[in-house]
Chains A and B, each alone.
Chain A
Amino acid sequence: MRLRLTTSLLLTATLASVGMSSMAFAKKAAKSKAKPQVVDPSSPAALHKQLMAVKRAYLGGDTNRSTTWTKLTDLHEYSAKMAMNDRVSLLSSQASLLTEAGYPILASIYASQAIKLAPDPLTSELEPAWSILHRVSEKRPIQNVLEIVAGSIDLQGRKIPIFGSDWNYFAGNAAAHNGQTEKALQLYGQLNIEGRYFFPAKYQQAMLYIESEKPAAAEDALKAILFPGAQKMSPLNEKQRRDMADYAYLALGRLYYERQRFGESTKMYRMVSRDGQNFYDALYEQSWSFFMAGYPMHALGGLYAVESPFYKEVFNPEAPLLRAMVHYWLCRYDASRNALADFMERYQPDVEKLTEYLDRKHLDPETAYSLFENLVSGVSEQSLGISRSILKTAAEKDSMLLIRDQYASILEEKSRLEAKGIFGNKTRSNQSMDYMDRWAQALRKDVGKHFLGELQEMKRDYDRLFAQAEFLYVELLMSEKDQLLGKELHASSKITHVSKRMQVNSWDKQTQSWKDARNGEYWWDELGYYIEPVESMCAVQSKATK
Chain B
Amino acid sequence: MHLLRLLAGSAALLWASAAFSLDLDPGEIRGKSSKEPVDVLQNRYFLKSWRPELGLIAGTMLDEAYISTRITGLRLGLFFNEWLGAEVQSQRTTVTSSTDRKALNKLRFRPYNPNGPIDNTVIVTPDPEVNAIHQVIDVNAIVAPFYGKLNVLNLAIIYTDIYATGGIAMLDTDQGAKTAVSLGAGERFYIGKAWSVRVDFKDRIFNETRAGATSRRNAKSIDFGVGYFFN
Contacts and interface: CB of A to CB of B under 8 A. Distances in A.
| A and B pair up | yes
B40 A313 contact: no
Contact of A411 (B16, B29, B34): B29
A39 B13 CA distance: 48
Nearest to B16: A379
Contact of B31 (A275, A370, A404): A404
Interface stretch (A53-61, A229-237, A520-528): A520-528
B43 A309 contact: yes
Interface stretch (B17-25, B86-94, B208-216): B17-25
A213 to B, nearest CB: 30
Interface in B76-106: none
A370 B17 contact: yes
Contact of A373 (B20, B27, B43): B20
Contacts of B13: 383
A383 B16 contact: yes
B33 A377 contact: no
A374 interface: yes
Contact of B26 (A379, A401, A415, A525): A415
Contact of A376 (B31, B38, B41): B31
Given A374-B17, A521-B41, A408 B35 contact: no
A396 B24 contact: no
Nearest to A309: B42
B2 interface: no
Contacts of B108: none
Interface in B9-64: 13, 16-17, 20-21, 23-24, 26-38, 40-45
Contacts of B45: 519-521
Interface in A474-505: none
A192 to B, nearest CB: 31
B46 to A, nearest CB: 8
Interface string B167-207: 00000000000000000000000000000000000000000
Contacts of A401: 31, 33
B33 A396 contact: yes
A15 to B, nearest CB: 16
A287 to B, nearest CB: 16
Given A373-B17, A408-B27, A396 B34 contact: yes
A377 B35 contact: no
A379 B31 contact: no
Interface in A396-412: 396, 401, 404-405, 407-409, 411-412
A374 B43 CA distance: 29
Nearest to A519: B45
Contact of A279 (B17, B28, B35): B35
A74 B41 CA distance: 60
A14 B31 CA distance: 23
B157 interface: yes
B30 A404 contact: yes
A470 B13 CA distance: 38
A521 B43 contact: yes
Nearest to A415: B26
Contact of B21 (A373, A392, A524): A373
Given A373-B20, A377-B24, A392 B34 contact: yes
A222 B8 CA distance: 56
Most buried by B among A383, A408, A412: A408
Contacts of B30: 404-405, 408-409
A180 interface: no
A370 B36 CA distance: 25
A297 to B, nearest CB: 19
A280 interface: yes
A381 to B, nearest CB: 14
**Which 3 A-B residue pairings sit nearest by Cβ, starting from the closest?**
A408-B30, A309-B42, A524-B40
Interface of A: 275, 277-281, 308-311, 313-314, 370, 373-374, 376-377, 379, 383, 392-393, 395-396, 401, 404-405, 407-409, 411-412, 415, 447, 517, 519-525
Given A376-B31, A377-B20, 19 more contacts: A309-B43, A310-B37, A373-B17, A374-B16, A374-B20, A377-B24, A379-B16, A383-B16, A392-B34, A396-B31, A396-B33, A401-B31, A401-B33, A408-B27, A411-B29, A415-B26, A522-B43, A524-B37, A524-B41
